Amino acid sequence: MSSKKTILNSIKANKSQNPIELPETNIPHMHYEDKNEKFATMLASVGGNAIWLEDGDINAFVKEHYKDVTVITSTIENLTCKTKEANLAQTPHELEDVELAIIEGEFGVAENGAVWVKNPKNKYRALYFLAKQLLIVVKKDAIVDTMHEAYERVRFDKDGYGLFISGPSKTADIEQSLVIGAHGPTAACVLFV
């Protein structure tokens, strides 16, 4: 008998004959009067920061805030501040030198400062983790209250990869002291335009 059969048979022999019902997940949940403020507070609490860009000029923003950064990639088209085309790399390993990755996020989640990222056009997901710093660009007002609303918007009908990013990478594995910048980016800024 195959192991699959063995396992399934064992489950069938052991499981209850009266399964309990699958509950609804969309329970009444928190709503925030000022979603932007909540998002910014939560993101700050996990080591990131949120900025609302009034004029929408990403190039100017990058020029001003990332002065010493030279290797910049972007999944957003037509950004003049970009200096490296990530999708042209032969392997994801070639993205090791990226200092700033500007990526698109679909929406933010107020309760935890996370942003949903799923760029079908981005060839290498390693970009999100190899880059030294991350700048996630999200449309103004694209913020939901909680993960309940967030998962209403997440789809995986087809294959692919997507993730929630909440701030920079971090660890507290040495004596519970929080250190920002573990294996992934050491800084993460969410830019609302």
Partner 1 sequence: MGHPELAEKFIANDERMHWHDKALWFVRAKRDNASKSVDEWEKLRKVASQIKAHTLDKLDYYLEEFEKNATAKGLHVHWAKDAKEHNEIVLRLLLNNGAKKLVKSKSMLTEECHLNPYLEEHGIEVVDTDLGERIVQLRKEPPSHIVLPAIHLKKEDVGTTFEEFLGTKKGNSDPTYLTRAARAHLREKFLGADAAMTGVNFGIAETGGVVVCTNEGNADLGASLPKLHIASMGIEKIIPRLKDLAVFTRLLARSATGQPITSYTSHFHAPIIDGQMHIIIVDNGRSAIIGSKDFKSSLQCIRCGACINTCPIYRRSGGYSYGYTIPGPIGSTLGASKDLRANKTLPFACSLCASCSNVCPVQINLHQQLYKHRQSVVAQKLLGFQKHTILKIATWVMKYPLLMDISGKLARAIVPKLPRSIVYSKVNLWGKKRELPPFPKNSFKELYKQRKGK
List the one residue from 58, 100, 114, 135 that touches partner 1 (CB under 8 A). Answer: 114
Closest to partner 1 by CB, 51 or 92 = 92
Binding residues for partner 1, how many (CB under 8 A)? 80
Q: Which of 91, 64, 97 is nearest to 83 (CA)?
A: 97
**C-alpha of 129 from chain center:** 10
Residue 88, C-beta contacts closer than 8 angstroms, at least 6 positions apart: none
Judged by CB under 8 A, does residue 139 bind partner 1? no
Contact present, 75 and 122 (Cβ < 8 Å): yes
Radius of gyration of the CA atoms of the chain, in A: 20
- Binding marks (x or -) toward partner 1, 20..49, rule CB under 8 A? xxxxxxxxxxx-----------x--xx---
Q: Identify any residues that bridge with 103 across adjacent strands, giving them in sequence order.
A: 136
List the one residue from 19, 55, 64, 77 that touches partner 1 (CB under 8 A). Answer: 19
Judged by CB under 8 A, does residue 176 bind partner 1? yes
Closest to partner 1 by CB, 54 or 175 = 175
Contact present, 186 and 132 (Cβ < 8 Å): yes
Cα distance between residue 187 and residue 49, in whole Å: 9
Q: How far is the CB of 55 from partner 1 (least distance, A)?
A: 30
The interface region with partner 1, picked from 50-58, 60-68, 75-83, 119-127 by CB under 8 A, is: 119-127
Binding to partner 1, residues 49-108 (CB under 8 A): 92-93, 96
